[in-house]
Amino acid sequence: MTIKNSFNEYIFPDMELEFELRSMHLRSVKRSWHYPAHEHPLYEINLVTSGQQVFIVKGEEYVLSEGDMVLIRPGDLHSSSSNGKGNDGFSYFCIHFNIDDKLILPYFKDTTEVYYDANSMLTRSIRPLLDRLINFSKIPKVGFKEKMIIHSVMFELLGMLVSCLEEKDNNLENISDRTIRIAYKIAQKIDVLIRQPGNMDSSPESNIRVEDIADQLDFSVSYCNKVFKKVFNMSPRQYVTFRKLNESKSLLTEDKYSIEQIAFMMGYHDSSHFSRQFKRWTGISPGQYRQNQTNILEKNE
């Protein structure tokens, strides 16, 4: 056997990662330019490359000068415009990305910081990587090789982002690897169950029971709730809602799926049940959410 005849061996854990990069763009705009208030199920990094940009995030106003950036979380309501001063507009670089929430949530759980000036540790750390992505944005045609390089730069950027957030959050250092592994296992099981159809008379949310997951992992329900809350700063039940809502929003931004198809994909037996639940979460119907996203895109094309 290989192990028997090995002198020394280092085994790296298996990795499975969901990642998508959307709407990466470099744009120069006039002083009159305005992007209306909106939200999306993606993370967003916005860097000002020249001039000044005004960002309003969850009611707070931030004035960004050259080199400053903002970090937007999924679901954060935000708008953007020029500061209206002078004759010139501004230029900015923007990326939207989505990554397996189990991996990135622990680093965002205790920070609500949005604005990072040009001299902040985070901005200085990831600016060289953003500059590399900016250079790719200027290429007229991006082939397979360029796409792979862009992905590698993005993963390096995310690693640097997590490293900077980890330094600010000393609480993460106090969580044992075992606790993190258990919390991830619980989240993985929830993710598998999210899209499985439940009973006709119940919602998909009610079919995801922490009691069942605890039995499978051979832990008590209270222990599962405790370790999950410690790592993700939310209960397993809140995580179910978070994942369901984000994934529903993400699917609704894609025209290739009907609302009926999305309802089925999210584990609902009919679209009316899905629509009622979505409206309880957001205050608007899935159709209204899709139309709002379409209107915003059309206004800014």
Q: What is the dihedral of CA 263, 17, 225, 177, to 10 degrees?
A: 180
Give the pTM. Answer: 0.76
Do the beta carbons of residue 6 and residue 55 sit within 8 Å?
Answer: no
Give the SS3 label for residue 114.
coil
Burial 139-173 (b: 16+ CB within 10 A, else e): eeeeeeeeeeebeebbeebbebbbebbeeeeeebe
- Residue 8 pLDDT > 80, yes or no? no
- Residue 279 pLDDT > 60, yes or no? yes
Domain at 177-299: CATH code: 1.10.10.60
Q: Domain 19-171, what architecture?
A: Sandwich (2.60)
Q: Of 49, 43, 42, whose CA–CA distance to 64 is shortest?
A: 49
Segment 89-120, tens digit of pLDDT: 899 999 999 887 777 777 776 677 899 999 99
Q: Of 159, 232, 151, 158, whose CA–CA distance to 191 is shortest?
A: 232
Q: Give start-end residues of each CATH 1.10.10.60 domain in the chain.
A: 177-299
Q: Of 72, 30, 64, 29, whose CA–CA distance to 47 is shortest?
A: 64
Do the beta carbons of residue 158 and residue 107 sit within 8 Å?
Answer: no
Q: Of 244, 260, 239, whose CA–CA distance to 194 is shortest?
A: 244
**Residue range 270-286: average pLDDT?**
90
Whole-number pLDDT of residue 201: 45
- Residue 172 pLDDT > 60, yes or no? no
Q: Give start-end residues of each CATH 2.60.120.280 domain in the chain.
A: 19-171
- Residue 233 pLDDT > 50, yes or no? yes
Whole-number pLDDT of residue 38: 87
Segment 139-169, tens digit of pLDDT: 888 888 888 999 999 999 988 988 888 776 5
Q: How confident is the model at residue 7 (pLDDT cuts 50, 70, 90)?
A: low
CA distances from 98 to 11, 40, 45 (A): 28, 11, 12
Whole-number pLDDT of residue 232: 85
> N- to C-terminal Cα distance for the chain?
61
